[in-house]
Structure 1
């Protein structure tokens, strides 16, 4: 089944580009840009990639991002991830990026997005990989700061498909950002948000009713509220589930306890994603393989998850149909 997964055409809908920062590249850019990080060797960086909770992860995540300074840095980071996509049969990806992580350090918005865009264009030309950008607001910062990021994004609106909401969930409910999400929608952005990873089911309610999101990132804790599950199914809202991330951040203690199969059985449109793969021990195929083994998912389950990733992507309809046909052909021949 591992070989079947490796070539199965699929999309990835929940990927933080800063979270694909492999230790080797981080160390190389730190040296090139003469940025001091608290690690003397690549091995020390790898050792730091061990966490007990979301905040532990965020601390190293932001420290690592500090070495990203120039357009070429963002290009190299994004190209490294898109190369993985080419290797893993990811034919469409929706890349989240955190401009505030960089603009707060004095990096221009243009530097960030131009570097990412160069890589996107190259990957499409070389391998036919389609991609979209999701600009994430950091929820531990203020709504006023999110409004500043919204304004900075407007000259590049043609390059950005959606806005999202990430970072520390507990104590930072979606309701904190109602106004900036309303303003983002008026600018034409699709609305997404992390909800129900560490936060309660109430946060998911706030995200779908208050923020009016089109897709739920994570959403694990929706299962604690039957009425919420019913509402998610009624509204046909997909969840972008991240198994290895959930394991590493102790959202679940064992992948055998992961709720993904329960979500499928209840009729929730779940998808599998890698979240921050450099930090959480695996890119998309490793997430598929690990959750398949832990939950004894069938081949039909895996194909269903791959199809969900395409159907609930933000790609144009003709691209979705093209990708679904590739899945159909692959399954027929394998």
Structure 2
């Protein structure tokens, strides 16, 4: 039996990339209150505890409603900087060496916040953190799928003049928010434009939506990585394709539990995916809302699914392989994992 303290140290020590993380989903209740006071925003909660108590969701939509309410406190560049830096410090403490952070400009521009403000605050924090600790980050600008494709195009056009200023960090485009009723083909044209512009592409699929959405994200949107993808198991041909083509899945176990995608962590299909050879990774999604950052997710699956140390090392290795890092940096990080796994 592995001693828990030893396993915890091992999980933290593994060099990991976090590839599925919504920066607006890292807002802890304490910071929400602090920013609300700073910006004189009134919240429908009278204390940090009453806000934390509201973090009891029944499904994706009930979470999203609270998520958008929490985001309302983000107004200035400093707010976006503080939120991002708070996350990066937690990730660093968890042994994360590279993050690929999703952010939703439409959540903010719809409230009158300039897209320039969003970029400047988030990028400022990731650059400072890289300089100070070596933790690197890329940004994935994500479209909200419950809004129109026209709105996604507007967001892209508003962001493109910023591309040169942020070309060290902004490398990818994503698609998130409510999956049901918003199939991948709704965004086929804007994703084609992003592909033509040379962005790396990812999309949420197969969380609440069916396995068909995973296939469509691959074939219609031409993404190279699937966020979630847990329902891929419903289609054996798709599963074989994921294995054969080594298409990464960015799985978020505690999120799946909290949003009732699974009823019990012991039932999660992550271990089956891993043992069948799917390039599956572990991520925190919206950790402030879902009860844990990335190391918490590793701990939860290690315990509930009885993963071995070598399987945990495989998950960390998968995260590096699935990242958008340059080949040389990937090789160096993977060598560190191999040395630990001996």
Tell me if TM exceeds 0.5.
Answer: yes
Gaps of at least 5 residues in structure 2 are 1-6
> How high is the TM-score relative to the length of structure 2?
0.96
Number of the residue aligned with 1:216: 226
d(CA) in 1 for partners of 2:191, 2:245: 19
1:224-281 alpha-carbon deviations (Å, 9 max, x no partner): 0001111222222010000000000000000000000110122110000000000000
- Determine whether 1:99 maps to 2:105: yes
Aligned Cα root-mean-square deviation (Å): 0.9
Please say if residues 309 and 341 of structure 2, whose CA atoms lie closer than 8 Å, have aligned partners that are also in contact: no
- Determine whether 1:29 maps to 2:28: no
d(CA) in 2 for partners of 1:47, 1:13: 28
Number of the residue aligned with 2:3: none
Number of the residue aligned with 1:19: 25
Please report how far the alpha carbon of residue 79 of structure 1 lies from its aligned counterpart in structure 2 after TM superposition.
Answer: 0.2
**Runs of 4+ more than 4 Å apart:** none
Higher mean displacement: 25-34 or 315-324: 315-324
- Determine whether 1:261 maps to 2:271: yes
Number of the residue aligned with 2:201: 191
d(CA) in 2 for partners of 1:198, 1:85: 27
- Name the SS for the 1:92 alignment partner: strand
Please say if residues 310 and 341 of structure 2, whose CA atoms lie closer than 8 Å, have aligned partners that are also in contact: no
Which of residues 113, 123, 129 is equivalent to 1:123?
A: 129
Which of residues 226, 232, 236 is equivalent to 2:246?
A: 236
> How high is the TM-score relative to the length of structure 1?
0.98
Number of the residue aligned with 1:141: 147
Task: Tell me the number of residue pairs that the alignment of Structure 1 and Structure 2 aligns.
Answer: 332
- Name the SS for the 1:6 alignment partner: helix
Number of the residue aligned with 1:304: 314
Number of the residue aligned with 2:91: 85
- Determine whether 1:46 maps to 2:52: yes
- Determine whether 1:57 maps to 2:67: no
1:42-83 alpha-carbon deviations (Å, 9 max, x no partner): 001100111010001000000000100000000000000010
